[in-house]
A = this chain, B = another copy of it.
Amino acid sequence: MSVDFKISKSIFLQISDNICNQILEGTLKSGERVPSIRDLAADFEVNSNTVLRAYTILSDVGVIENKRGIGFFVTEDAKQNILERNKAEFFKTDLPEFINKIQLLKLNKADLKDLSDIVESLN
């Protein structure tokens, strides 16, 4: 695997996002072991400390947990945990900022047709 990291965001955050997304998508399931720090560092071609940092953060927020000497495992409530955090962040920050931009830029309905269509197609 060769991964391109964005320059605008810390690598360790991109790694933790990557793990979270795999959990949300179902690629990684509760109880499953995530790759060892060394393996993931090799895959991503980064320093193992960088992966460790990502894993430490995910541990702190209860998405993965360490079984000593064995590795890190996805927690039971990882998925829900991630969704809750991300939703809270979305409604607190992303949505207001987005609405603010719409109004500041004086966009019109036509500009946002794609968005409307997508929202309309939701449950």
- State the A residues within 8 Å of B (CB): 7, 11, 21, 24-25, 47, 66, 68-69, 83, 86-87, 90-91, 94-95, 98-99, 101-109, 111-112, 114-116, 118-120, 122-123
A66 to B11, CA, bound (A): 13
What CA separation (Å) do A91 and B90 show in the bound complex? 19
Stoichiometry, copies per complex = 4
> When the two chains form the complex, which single residue of B11, B83, B107, B116 contacts A116, counting CB atoms closer than 8 Å?
B116
> Contacts A68-B11, A86-B101, A101-B94 known; A112 to B122 CB distance under 8 Å?
yes
Contact partner of A118 among B83, B99, B120, CB < 8 A? B99
A21 to B25, CA, bound (A): 38
